[in-house]
Chain A
Amino acid sequence: MSWEYSEKTTQLFMDAVHGKPGTHLGEIEDPDGFGEHGSIACGDAMRFTFRVEKDYEDPLKDVIVEARYMTFGCTSAIAASEALCRLIEEGRYSPIEALKITNESIVDYLEGLPEQKIHCSVMGAEALEAAVFNWAQKRGVDLEELGIDLVSEDEEEGRIVCKCFTLSEPYLRRKIQELNLRTIAEVTHATKAGGACMSCHQAPGGIQDLLDEVWGRKPATVKQVAEEPQPREPEPTNGSGLSSYQLMKKVEQCIEDYIRPQLQSDGGDIEIVDIKDSLVYCKLSGACAGCAHAGQTMKLMVERTLKDLVDERIRVIGV
């Protein structure tokens, strides 16, 4: 699958990789806003920092003058990080105004993103929100009073819906509404939820259920009834009247008492890998392992001895 990135996306990525002037790779020391999103296990993660020109009378008039990122992720994750920083610096926004930058603004700036890469732009928007939240805490701004419903990710605990990417129910519910996600595929593209093992798609309380709760239920679907597991047949006994277990014990005893001592006297050894009724799987070790006659030892010595002393039907298979 080749890349379907816009020229803008590839340009931003290559500029960033080569550290061209005007790119925003890095981390601000003692930042005024600090936010992170994603994790290395999920395949992308971003650390976002900004610095403001402080307004000493009214923190709401702080202006973001510098934004930097560190990003682990694919081409589009890095381009989206770069885009976010440019949008913010070009806008000379206050942190509150910066919240206008959504994942859609980032996608527009990148002149489009492939559908399955939308989550990269969401990561940028999430990291920005987290950083603004952090700034508000530091500057004593009460976001709730301003009517801004920003939830720090740490507070967004709740039942985990997507276990692969550790995404919680409150988070997904919020994203489904904010980003107007209508299908499981859209949820996956935007948040990654359900993108790996997919078991949460139709699980009770899974993504489909969340979508139904948010947008109302679709007409009832036919539920599949799980098949009853077939009962196993009882273990057959073999002709000698010994149960499999008794036979196994006798084989082990015989190897212990007769076979192993013989092999050991030649500097070798034997290991029982498995016993299935009259089939005995063995591995020769020590001097026997590399021996050209290992095959013959198995047949003529190990198998013959077991046939003679335990049961004529025994067959030995070398592993």
Chain B
Amino acid sequence: MTVIYADNNATTAIDPQVTEAMLPYLQDQYFNPSSMYEVARPVANAIEKARESVAHVLGGIEANQILFTSGATESNNAAIFGTAKANRSRNHIITTAVEHPAVLEVCREMERDGYEVTFLSVDRSGRLNMQEFVQALQPDTLMVTIMHGNNETGVIFPVDELARITKETDPAIIFHTDATQSVGKIPLDLTGAFRYVDMLSLSGHKLHGPKGVGALYVKRGTQWRPFIIGGHQENGRRGGTYNVASIVGLGSACDLAREHRDDEKRIAALRDRLEAGILDRVPQVEVNGQDAPRLPNTLNVACHYVEGEGILYQLSALGICASSGSACTSGSLDPSHVLKTMELPFTAIHGSIRFSLSRYTTDAEVDAIIDAFPKVIANLRKMSPYWDTKTNQPR
């Protein structure tokens, strides 16, 4: 069975050129880049080249502000815990209620540690209320950590504006953004519109790089203390032997992301066609985040009166990979915290499906999803006590 992969916000296919770039470092280039001998030098150079590549995809900032980590989760942990450690006189954190757990759970942990945390809400389309944000800024605000693109809905927060307002209010407040879903997908220039951002997290495997590697941008001069210590690597800012092959892979993935910059439009067109196709063929469906700016690759649809796991299961049987915010797929009994915060009607919150595309997604694949999806929904509605198949309407 051919696989149609439409779950690129979960992870992406590794680009063959990335694999190729990594291979030497899994073979004879095994030297520790921190070693003094001559043969280790090319390995050390490869790390610095990868650092330049990451710096480049973020708008050509100076590369020594990039630290390599084990992924965005570590980057987010390091950003928040490390900022708190370096600024002990401040006690307040601003974030949103729709962050990825790698930020949300860390903020909850901070709350348990005695910090005051403001979890900003969003409207029905997933947008922040700017007035609520401004009002949340306090004299003892330590940091603001707000994601760029939402992993579930693709809704983009105006991080450039939020960072500017934060720093104009009080330059001592540290602004961090989790840009895991947006790096490589939409323009993000840390020397331009995003120059007020102090810290930024990104991950390799969301942009066709390897898993287990990410980066944290820490703007020079930011009051921040290292989170993982125990070595002189990264100038003491992140201990641990360099994960050479993966770091090289991340660098290569960033180079390729820049080369493929123009794919954004093609991916957006595919997504728009998928969206229109589904809205056209399935009654009682709405797009989550409809009125907000969204990542070009993400489509999150709420199907009323059906449950997401049954949708995924049938799609999976057809070789289509997607995700759901339903309770049954979350591991807990609670549906997605993002959709709950958006106050999705209870008839739809369990029936939300996310399709996330990539530069590898083809027209034929989108056609196949448009073809399969209405049947899958109809099958489940036929069974639902809340749906009348005769009229094709809710009861």
Residues of B within 8 A of A315 (CB): 168
**Residue count of chain B within 8 Å CB distance of chain A:** 38
User: Which among B169, B313, B329, B386 is the interface contact of A317 at CB below 8 angstroms?
Assistant: B169
A188-B333, A273-B130 are known contacts. Are A46 and B165 too (CB-CB below 8 A)?
no
Contacting pair A43 B385 (CB below 8 A): no
Q: Which residues of B contact A78 (CB under 8 A)?
A: 310, 383
Given contacts A43-B350, A319-B130, contact A192 B333 (CB under 8 A): yes
Q: List 12 A-B contacts (CB under 8 A).
A: A17-B310, A17-B379, A25-B383, A36-B385, A40-B350, A43-B335, A44-B307, A72-B305, A73-B328, A77-B307, A274-B134, A281-B134
B306 interfacial contact with A, CB 8 Å: yes
A17 touches B326 (CB 8 A): no
Assess A276 versus B137: contact at CB under 8 Å? Given A14-B317, A40-B305: yes
Query: B382, A19: Cβ atoms under 8 Å?
Result: yes
Q: Which of B321-358 contact A (CB under 8 A)?
A: 326-329, 331-335, 346-347, 350
Q: In the complex, A283 Cα to B333 Cα: how many Å?
A: 42
Contact yes or no, B346 A40, CB < 8 A: yes
B333 touches A43 (CB 8 A): yes
By beta carbon, the residue of chain A nearest B330 is: A1
A121 contacts B by Cβ under 8 Å: no
Which B residues touch A116, using CB under 8 A?
331, 333
Query: Are A279 and B169 in touch, CB under 8 angstroms?
Result: yes
- Tell me, rounded to whole Å, the shortest Cβ–Cβ distance linking B345 to chain A: 10
* Residue B384 at the chain A interface, CB threshold 8 Å: yes
Question: Which residues 4-41 of A sit at the B interface, judged by CB distance below 8 A?
Answer: 10, 13-14, 16-19, 25, 27, 36, 40-41
A71 touches B384 (CB 8 A): yes
One of A18, A70, A279 near B384 (C-beta < 8 A):
A70
Known: A40-B350, A317-B169. 20 other contacts (CB 8 A): A3-B313, A10-B313, A14-B317, A17-B310, A18-B379, A19-B382, A25-B382, A25-B383, A40-B305, A40-B347, A45-B385, A47-B385, A72-B305, A73-B307, A74-B307, A117-B328, A195-B332, A196-B332, A196-B334, A319-B131
Does A105 have its Cβ within 8 Å of any Cβ on chain B?
no
Interface residues of A in 201-257 (CB under 8 A from B): 227
B2 close to chain A: CB less than 8 A: no
Bound Cα distance from A116 to B310, whole angstroms: 16
- Which residues of chain A are near B329, meaning CB under 8 Å? 1, 74
* C-alpha spacing A3/B332, complex, angstroms: 14
The answer to the question of B160 belonging to the interface, with a C-beta cut-off of 8 Å to chain A, is: no
B223 at the A/B interface (Cβ < 8 Å)?
no
> Binary interface profile of A, 40-63, with partner B (CB < 8 Å = 1, else 0)?
110111110000000000000000
Q: Is the CB of B382 within 8 A of A43?
A: no
Residues of A within 8 A of B347 (CB): 40
Tally of contact residues, A, Cβ under 8 A: 49
For B27, what are the chain A residues with a Cβ–Cβ distance below 8 Å?
A: none
Check A291 for interface membership: any CB of B closer than 8 A.
no
- Which residues of chain B are near A283, meaning CB under 8 Å? 130
Q: Which residues of B contact A285 (CB under 8 A)?
A: none
Q: Find out whether the CB atom of B310 lies under 8 angstroms from the CB atom of A73.
A: yes
Given contacts A1-B329, A196-B334, A317-B165, contact A17 B383 (CB under 8 A): yes
Once the chains are docked, how many angstroms separate the CA of A227 from the CA of B161? 37
B383: A residues at CB distance < 8 A: 16-17, 25, 69-72, 78
CB distance from B276 to the nearest CB of A (A): 26
Minimum Cβ distance to chain A for residue B58 (Å): 24
Measured CA separation A148–B228 after assembly (Å): 63
A197: interface (CB < 8 Å): yes
Instruction: Report which of B134, B380, B386 forms a contact with A17, defined as CB distance below 8 A.
Output: B380
A102 on interface, CB distance cutoff 8 Å: no
Asked whether A196 and B384 contact (CB < 8 A) given A41-B346, A274-B131, A317-B168, the answer is no
What residues of B have a CB within 8 angstroms of the CB of A77 in the complex? 307
Say if the beta carbon of B314 comes within 8 Å of chain A: yes
Contact A72 to B385, CB < 8 A, known contacts A17-B314, A195-B333: yes
On whether the beta carbons of B326 and A71 are closer than 8 Å, the reply is: no
A27 to B385, CA, bound (A): 9
When chains A and B are docked, how far (Å) is the Cα of A62 from the Cα of B362?
59
A1 touches B331 (CB 8 A): yes
Is A74's CB under 8 angstroms from B134's CB? no
- Which B residues from 375 to 395 make CB contacts under 8 A with A? 379-380, 382-386
Smallest beta-carbon distance A50→chain B, Å:
15
Residue of chain B at shortest CB distance from A197: B334
C-beta contact mask, B139-167 vs A, less than 8 Å → 1, else 0?
A: 00000000000000000000001000100
How distant is A198 from chain B, measured CB to nearest CB, in Å?
A: 9
For chain A, residues 266 to 285, give those with C-beta under 8 angstroms from any C-beta of chain B.
273-274, 276, 279, 281, 283
Closest to B327 in A: A43
* B275 in contact (CB, < 8 A): no
Q: Smallest distance from the beta carbon of A251 to chain B beta carbons, Å?
A: 15
Instruction: Output the least CB separation between A135 and chain B (Å).
Output: 19
**Given contact pairs A75-B313, A195-B332, A281-B134, A43 touches B379 in the complex (Cβ within 8 A):** no
Asked whether A43 and B313 contact (CB < 8 A) given A195-B334, A315-B168, the answer is: no
B307 to chain A, nearest CB (A): 5
Q: Nearest chain-A residue to B328 (Cβ)?
A: A74
- Nearest-CB residue, chain A, relative to B348: A40
Residues of B contacting A18 in the complex (Cβ-Cβ under 8 angstroms): 379
CB distance from B130 to the nearest CB of A (A): 5
Contacting residues of chain B (28-56) with chain A, CB-CB under 8 angstroms: none
B74 at the interface (CB under 8 A from A): no
Q: Which of A10, A16, A196 contacts B333 (CB 8 A)?
A: A196
B134 neighbours in A (Cβ, 8 Å)? 273-274, 281, 319
Residues of B within 8 A of A69 (CB): 383
The 10 closest A-B pairs by CB, nearest first: A195-B333, A74-B309, A74-B328, A70-B385, A47-B385, A41-B346, A196-B334, A43-B327, A274-B134, A72-B384
Distance (whole angstroms) from the CB of A208 to the closest CB of chain B? 18
Q: Which residues of B contact A36 (CB under 8 A)?
A: 385
Provide the residues of chain B in CB contact with A319, threshold 8 Å: 130-131, 134, 161, 165
At the interface, yes or no: B135 with Cβ under 8 Å from chain A? yes
CA of A159 to CA of B306 in the docked complex: distance in angstroms? 30
Q: In the complex, A10 Cα to B334 Cα: how many Å?
A: 23
Chain B residues within 8 Å of A3, by CB: 313
What's the nearest-Cβ distance from chain B to residue A12, in Å? 12
CA distance A318 to B167 in the complex (A): 12
Question: Nearest CB to that of A45 among chain B residues?
Answer: B385
Residues in A whose Cβ lies below 8 Å from that of B317: 14
